[in-house]
Amino acid sequence: MALPSYAGPIETSWYYAFRLICACIFIFLITPILIIIPLSFNVEPYFTFTQGMLSFDADAYSLRWYEDFLSNTQWTHSVKNSFIIAIASTILATILGTLAALGLSNSNMPYRSLAMGLLISPMIVPLIISAAGMYFFYSNIGLSQTFLGIILAHTTLGTPFVVITVTATLVGFDHSLTRASANLGANPTTTFFKVMMPLILPGVISGALFAFITSFDEVVVVLFLAGFDQRTIPRQMWSGIREQISPTILAVATILVMISIALLATLELLRRRSERMRGMSPG
């Protein structure tokens, strides 16, 4: 959208005004996320820049909140819990979701849109309602305040993402490839792992990433279902914000931002790979 050479003064000023507006909106989007990174190195227990920080005094910066994060057993426990819960629920959600997506993309599937609606519902229903429902039901069957309960709950919240991403990949899938594979003597399992899987893998992985981040970032269900032993990072941040606000939260937040940058990069690589693979397959 370069400015054409025939643009008059009104068009030129509007062109730059528009760019300025866009710049402001981008600043609005990114500033809060970037601002916490320098703040997390603050030597004082404040959430704002001190005089020393602004004059780039080395003494005003420190790693004390990172040390606090690593030495505090509550935080280290929560990191461990978060990974246990997120990895377990991601594996479950990916397996169940991928299988379901394979079935859903079959045009002979009966009641397809109804099934799709039911499977997507955990994503639509507000979290507070899901959490409230699970709180009662899981307490009744003895699953509240257990790892299993939270893993199952997070699995349900993660599956819609896997179903959606894998279904989207399967839309472009050329089914004559599986017929060719069967024709050449492969049994369905071999066909699935040798022919289908490599092609739908980007969808499966990005679905798994979504499921992972959903669980890793989830706090409402954890608030209702988790006991003290199952506290996750977001749960710990929640009580950090509500009870004893200390810049340790900013240190944790900075680490989480780094993790999301890594995830974003992974997804981008997957997208490129998927496009390359699409380019290779005929039709």
Q: Which of 124, 121, 122, 181 is nearest to 152 (CA)?
A: 122
Does 87 sit near other proteins (CB under 8 A)?
no
Give the Cα separation of 13 and 5 in Å (integer).
14
223 exposed, middle or buried (CB, 10 Å; 0-12, 13-18, 19+)?
A: middle
Which residue do the tokens 């229903």 mark? Answer: 125
Does 197 sit near other proteins (CB under 8 A)?
no
Does 35 sit near other proteins (CB under 8 A)?
yes
The residue (of 199 and 237) whose beta carbon lies closer to other proteins is 237
Does 3 sit near other proteins (CB under 8 A)?
no
Interface residue with other proteins among 79, 87, 168, 182 (CB under 8 A) is 168
Distance in Å, CB of 214 to other proteins, minimum: 11
Distance in Å, CB of 109 to other proteins, minimum: 4
Does 280 sit near other proteins (CB under 8 A)?
no
Does 205 sit near other proteins (CB under 8 A)?
no
The residue (of 243 and 282) whose beta carbon lies closer to other proteins is 243
Interface residue with other proteins among 71, 242, 244, 283 (CB under 8 A) is 242
Interface residue with other proteins among 78, 144, 206, 230 (CB under 8 A) is 206
- Binding pattern to other proteins, positions 121-160, x when CB under 8 A? xx-xxxxxxx-xxxxxxx-------------xx-xx--x-
Interface residue with other proteins among 63, 70, 109, 184 (CB under 8 A) is 109
Does 63 sit near other proteins (CB under 8 A)?
no
Does 186 sit near other proteins (CB under 8 A)?
no
3-state SS of the chain is CCCCCCCCHHHHHHHHHHHHHHHHHHHHHHHHHHHHHHHCCECCCCCCCCHHHHCCCHHHECCHHHHHHHHCHHHHHHHHHHHHHHHHHHHHHHHHHHHHHHHHCCCCCCCHHHHHHHHHHHHHCCHHHHHHHHHHHHHHCCCCCCHHHHHHHHHHHHHHHHHHHHHHHHHCCCCHHHHHHHHCCCCHHHHHHHHHHHHHHHHHHHHHHHHHHHHHHCCHHHHHHCCHHHCCHHHHHHHHHHCCCCCHHHHHHHHHHHHHHHHHHHHHHHHHHHHHHHHHCCC
Does 238 sit near other proteins (CB under 8 A)?
yes
The residue (of 8 and 282) whose beta carbon lies closer to other proteins is 8
> Candidates 72-80, 179-187, 214-222, 274-282 — which segment interacts with other proteins by CB under 8 A?
214-222
Does 279 sit near other proteins (CB under 8 A)?
no
The residue (of 111 and 282) whose beta carbon lies closer to other proteins is 111
- Binding-residue total with other proteins (CB under 8 A): 91
